[in-house]
Every structure is written in structure tokens, then in C-alpha cells.
Amino acid sequence: MKKIMKVVGAIIENGQNEILCALRSPEMSMPNMWEFPGGKVEENEDIYSALVREIDEELGCRIKTSKEIFNNTIHEYDTFIINLLSIKCNVISGNPTPREHSKLIWLKRENLESLKWAPADIPAVQQLIQDK
């Protein structure tokens, strides 16, 4: 039976209404695909604390999360199942810097579909585009 991993993703929007997109590095699983930055929720950790921790580790900045889940997706990959909880956030200090990803870019919602997204992130991307 495949293991279900609970993962959080940050939908970070800047003052120009652009969304932060992160390119997975060649060393990561699903290399060279785009995603919303974030990561696994540890045991006994709430999703909001996990997201703040992951963004600090991955991007070296502090965020403030909204207190609602923007998108909740379950996606089955070959070897595991991911439950991705996407949450809108704002940077409150520091500038996002790629520590694990190959690249970070800011894109307008209408341009998000131009990237090759990791499959689990696609429902949140589609919802962002629809919510303009």
C-alpha cells in the first residue's frame, strides 16, 4: 500500500499581484518541474507552522499564512500519494532566495499555465487562474 504524505505549499503573492513559482532542481524528485514552495508536515506539527518552517528552510524568508486552505488536492504518483494543502501567504521579512530549487520567478496569474507544473500543483494553479 502506498504511503500518503501530507505536504503544504505556499502561494506567495507580491504587491504586483504576481505569484512565486519555484523550479525543482535536477537533484529533486520530479526534476525541472515547477511547484509552489513548501514541504512535508512533520508528525505533531500543524500545517501553518509546517509551512512557515519549510519556507524559512527553503527560501530564507519569513511568511505570514492565511488561516484557510486555498486548495486541497490528493494526487497519486507511482510510489506514493500526496495530500497537498496549498495556502496563501505573504512575505513579512527577507527576500525569497532559492536554497533547494534551481530558480524562483514571479508570474502573473494569467501566465502560470506557461510553466510545466508538478502534477499535484496543477489544481491550485487552475484555481488561481480562475479566481483572477
The tens digit of pLDDT for each residue in 78-113 reads 888 999 999 999 999 999 999 999 999 999 999 999
The CATH code of the domain that includes 41 is 3.90.79.10
What is the reported pLDDT for 132? Answer: 63
- ∠31-110-82 over CA atoms, to 5°? 40
What is the reported pLDDT for 28? Answer: 84
Phi-psi region of 71 (alpha: psi -120 to 50; beta: other; left: phi over 0): beta
What predicted TM-score, i.e. pTM, was given to this entire model? 0.94
Q: Tell me the DSSP string of 108-128.
A: EGGGGGGS-B-GGGHHHHHHH
Domain enclosing residue 30, as ranges: 3-130
Domain count across the chain = 1
Write out residues in the chain with pLDDT < 70, as ranges.
Answer: 132
The CB-side HSE value for 81 (13 A sphere, CA atoms) comes to 8
For residues 59 and 80, give the distance between their C-alpha atoms in angstroms, rounded to a whole number. Answer: 25
For residues 107 and 100, give the distance between their C-alpha atoms in angstroms, rounded to a whole number. Answer: 20
